[in-house]
Structure 1
């Protein structure tokens, strides 16, 4: 099952999958991991990134008047699913999060100023998680803000309380890359801001950014889930032990069945969240991320186990998905936000609890007396 269920969406998914396969995206991910010194704006020389920009995927969800394709977030999730299947990294995810937020909450002037540049890939973005950032007189300061994005991103979208601010990279923004098991493909950059002038303020928009991050991270996780499940079942069907395919053994069957169940549930939750509107959109994104990201790590590890000894080797692709799943699940903007939103929605839905009252029943001994 895929996020693409309509004919148009299936066509988009096929194009995206073929493009990633043609560029051998998994091999690209492995090469970047091997080259620990690779940094700077490495994606600008990457053939796949250039093709992504020229195809217009950075603007699928952005209106045509701002240089986009005029579709919506559902189409964006389909592309992210296919990128997730090949563990593709780079600045795509944080950049489309930034453009989606600006498209939804920005003024016309803000949209005109930023969306065309984000859509064309002229600038790439990083997206920060909740922090103790302080905003006063259009100046923001923060000790340490964990962000999803590249060290050399051009702009950073950061939550400050209930608001969002957009800051441009510069001397007052100190960016440090933290060690990540998914280094460079899904890096985590820590920012220190010392009285940085903000380029834009989006009042009350922090919750919008959180919703979009959770939804798009879930879509990427769905792609990884599908890839891991397919790899495990294909290997179980062909690898023989004791004269028969290992997939015929009950324990392996159960592993593969559980992987499929996790994948299908994640697809359904993310599909619903991508199409939800109004109050249901926030809850849907939290549910999708809450299940899909935990399931991704679980299924990625099960994929390694089904493959046995070869699954633990560097040469096999299984570890690439374990790396991606681990980092996505650990991102504060995704994990903590999902838990908070789910608990908040559950508490609102429960309302007042009326205590149950049971009739008092005498024991048989008391009745005889």
Structure 2
């Protein structure tokens, strides 16, 4: 997905990409190779006529009257087509000066003048705007310059923030082109008699490109959105600066990595000067050099996080909440006034525990109402209980069960009277769930289940289990599976605890030996189990991400505040804060799409992959920051002191890249379902 989320921004990006593709930008850049005086006058004239670099300048000053985010969307679209002529410098200068112009801008003291080689107006640090020499760089589409009288003066904070914000948008455009080009090539290029996109190694490489490109896009979008919010008075400069540092820590290294991966997927043709891939790699490398080290941004992020700064994205509901907020606030305050042991029932009665579920168990709430309820419950200090496995089981019953099943199971599950476990995985069927062997045989009045399940949490205390079993061995694997509701107190069920690497037994093996399940506990029809296992309610849960970072990242920030960490360690902490922030931003973008009436984009599908990496890497960093004390740690766990708890968390998060489908399987799925690579 591109930067733009609203229909207007998506339309702007689409139209500008089409316009930019007609300019012959790549041909012009190649023709001007080796000419330091090339100013791409014809292309600049077309861009100037369109007013692209001045979109965020007020109309009264000769601009387009748009926002910084609108400007970023435009730059992303133009970078996707590698439009030359200095649009980045011109856009930065236009924002700084509140006037259109063909600017060259010096962002860092004594540094390069961005797009100064083709500019007619110069914004130098500590200078009078004169005295630059254009030089040829590795990016064939730009002409940067060097100041002839460099001055070491204090950096202008706003200038840096504007420059990085808009440069990040260009990085997003570069990353997007590289991803699309690699995927398109992988769909048609054949080796060993197959499309290379069907090879798992290529699938994984392209899926990782998708993860990185979505991260770049989310961080670039947030920097521009924060700048826009600052202009509108809904955020302060501290939030913008934090968002910009997250973008600097994420976008430019990310764009370079995606560009390199594009060349790798293309193979020999990608290494030629003839192919355009190297031009995008050159632009990515140049942008990274211009903005400066991601590590310096990470150091600033750590300092800000220690000081209490967290990214808090403001969401404008555009008045859609006015009609529903008073009732939501009153209900939340009424629930808050109850005793803690009475609040759950009140949440269920009001439909506030699961407002996205249909009535009478929820409210069938649209995204706006869901967010308002979340906000008002949070304001009132009401914490919803976690439904755990019931959160998967009950929606399936709601969507596909009988009235009797809904009456029997839904409300008691919401009230916490019934605890559920999931009987899906088997010793020989982990991610390959369709190969399960637990057998269900027809008997009078129901079915007899025999088999073994594994990795089943809370089975030792669950009342009911959702179970997949094979009811027909003569049809394709996916079609012979049925979805059962199993009473965990039934005769023939044996639960054996499994001790994990943490030393605890959170999982179990479950053995089913001729376990009777009556017909009324079959959900839908026999053979529908695979479809049901993948069911979610059409009205998906929508929520804004918390400003608080994940557990281990917050712990790393605490260590940075309380210990004398080295500069390298502080950089590592900052990168983990940035990654966790990007994970939250992916969720925010999904929510904003839902508010706009659109389904989730690619960012919702890659969020789990990136989130797993964040949690695993941050928990490992927390332990590493505490040095060699680990070697003398006698016990681990939440009752074994801070280091013991930290080690438990590190070990426990190893399951995240396995549970719910391994990272490798999920990358296959992303490559095939999102990117369209062949199976």
TM tier relative to shorter chain: 0.7 to 0.9
Check whether the contact 1:215–1:286 (CA below 8 A) recurs between aligned residues: no
1:218 and 2:168 correspond: yes
Q: Which has the higher contact order (CA 8 A, sep 6+)?
A: 1
Task: Show the 5 A alignment for 1:2-151.
Answer: 2-33=2-33, 36-37=34-35, 39=37, 42-44=39-41, 46=42, 48-103=43-98, 115=99, 119=100, 121=101, 124-131=102-109, 144-151=110-117
Check whether the contact 1:9–1:78 (CA below 8 A) recurs between aligned residues: yes
Task: Show the 5 A alignment for 1:255-294.
Answer: 255-276=205-226, 277=230, 278=236, 279-294=238-253
Instruction: Name 2:147's counterpart in structure 1.
Output: 191
Check whether the contact 2:249–2:298 (CA below 8 A) recurs between aligned residues: yes
Q: What do residues 62-111 of structure 1 show as CA deviations (whole Å, max 9, x unaligned)?
A: 111111111110110011101111122322111211121233xxxxxxxx
From 113, 137, 149, the equivalent of 1:180 is 137
Q: Decide whether aligned partners of structure 1 residues 305 and 342 sit closer, same or farther in structure 2, where only a CA change above 3 A counts.
A: same
Q: Secondary structure at the match of 1:168?
A: coil
TM-score (norm 2): 0.43
* RMSD of aligned Cα (Å): 2.7
Check whether the contact 1:81–1:220 (CA below 8 A) recurs between aligned residues: yes
Q: After TM superposition, give the deviation of residue 340 of structure 1 in Å.
A: 5.1
Q: Decide whether aligned partners of structure 1 residues 294 and 52 sit closer, same or farther in structure 2, where only a CA change above 3 A counts.
A: same
1:158 and 2:367 correspond: no
Check whether the contact 1:286–1:342 (CA below 8 A) recurs between aligned residues: yes
Q: Secondary structure at the match of 1:151?
A: helix
From 313, 337, 345, the equivalent of 2:272 is 313
The whole-number CA distance in structure 2 between the counterparts of 1:14 and 1:344 is 39
Q: After TM superposition, give the deviation of residue 219 of structure 1 in Å.
A: 0.3
The number of aligned residues is 308
Q: After TM superposition, give the deviation of residue 180 of structure 1 in Å.
A: 1.8
From 277, 282, 290, the equivalent of 1:331 is 290
Q: What do residues 206-254 of structure 1 show as CA deviations (whole Å, max 9, x unaligned)?
A: 1111011111111001011010000001100100111110011111111
- Greater CA drift, 1-10 or 145-154: 145-154
Q: Secondary structure at the match of 1:190?
A: strand
Q: What do residues 299-325 of structure 1 show as CA deviations (whole Å, max 9, x unaligned)?
A: 111111101111111111111011111
1:353 and 2:312 correspond: no
The whole-number CA distance in structure 1 between the counterparts of 2:182 and 2:195 is 13
Instruction: Name 2:672's counterpart in structure 1.
Output: none
From 113, 125, 129, the equivalent of 1:168 is 129
Q: After TM superposition, give the deviation of residue 339 of structure 1 in Å.
A: 4.3
The whole-number CA distance in structure 2 between the counterparts of 1:215 and 1:84 is 14
Q: Secondary structure at the match of 1:156?
A: strand
Unaligned runs of 5+ in 1: 104-114, 132-143, 196-202, 360-369
The whole-number CA distance in structure 2 between the counterparts of 1:287 and 1:308 is 32
Q: Decide whether aligned partners of structure 1 residues 353 and 38 sit closer, same or farther in structure 2, where only a CA change above 3 A counts.
A: closer
The whole-number CA distance in structure 1 between the counterparts of 2:139 and 2:147 is 19
Q: What do residues 13-44 of structure 1 show as CA deviations (whole Å, max 9, x unaligned)?
A: 122111111113233233223xx13515x222
Q: Secondary structure at the match of 1:147?
A: strand
- Greater CA drift, 339-348 or 312-321: 339-348
Check whether the contact 1:147–1:189 (CA below 8 A) recurs between aligned residues: yes
Q: Decide whether aligned partners of structure 1 residues 334 and 50 sit closer, same or farther in structure 2, where only a CA change above 3 A counts.
A: farther
The whole-number CA distance in structure 2 between the counterparts of 1:205 and 1:354 is 30
Q: Decide whether aligned partners of structure 1 residues 80 and 329 sit closer, same or farther in structure 2, where only a CA change above 3 A counts.
A: same
The whole-number CA distance in structure 1 between the counterparts of 2:305 and 2:211 is 24
Instruction: Name 1:364's counterpart in structure 2.
Output: none
The whole-number CA distance in structure 1 between the counterparts of 2:169 and 2:270 is 25
The whole-number CA distance in structure 2 between the counterparts of 1:205 and 1:287 is 19
Q: Secondary structure at the match of 2:5?
A: coil
The whole-number CA distance in structure 1 between the counterparts of 2:293 and 2:163 is 7
Check whether the contact 2:219–2:243 (CA below 8 A) recurs between aligned residues: yes
1:342 and 2:301 correspond: yes
Check whether the contact 2:186–2:195 (CA below 8 A) recurs between aligned residues: yes
The whole-number CA distance in structure 2 between the counterparts of 1:148 and 1:339 is 23
Q: After TM superposition, give the deviation of residue 341 of structure 1 in Å.
A: 3.5
Q: Decide whether aligned partners of structure 1 residues 50 and 5 sit closer, same or farther in structure 2, where only a CA change above 3 A counts.
A: same
The whole-number CA distance in structure 1 between the counterparts of 2:32 and 2:303 is 40
Q: Decide whether aligned partners of structure 1 residues 43 and 21 sit closer, same or farther in structure 2, where only a CA change above 3 A counts.
A: same
The whole-number CA distance in structure 2 between the counterparts of 1:354 and 1:31 is 56
Instruction: Name 1:198's counterpart in structure 2.
Output: none
Unaligned runs of 5+ in 2: 231-235, 309-556, 565-625, 627-639, 643-679
Check whether the contact 1:214–1:338 (CA below 8 A) recurs between aligned residues: no
Q: What do residues 283-314 of structure 1 show as CA deviations (whole Å, max 9, x unaligned)?
A: 11121132111011111111111011111111
Check whether the contact 1:130–1:333 (CA below 8 A) recurs between aligned residues: no
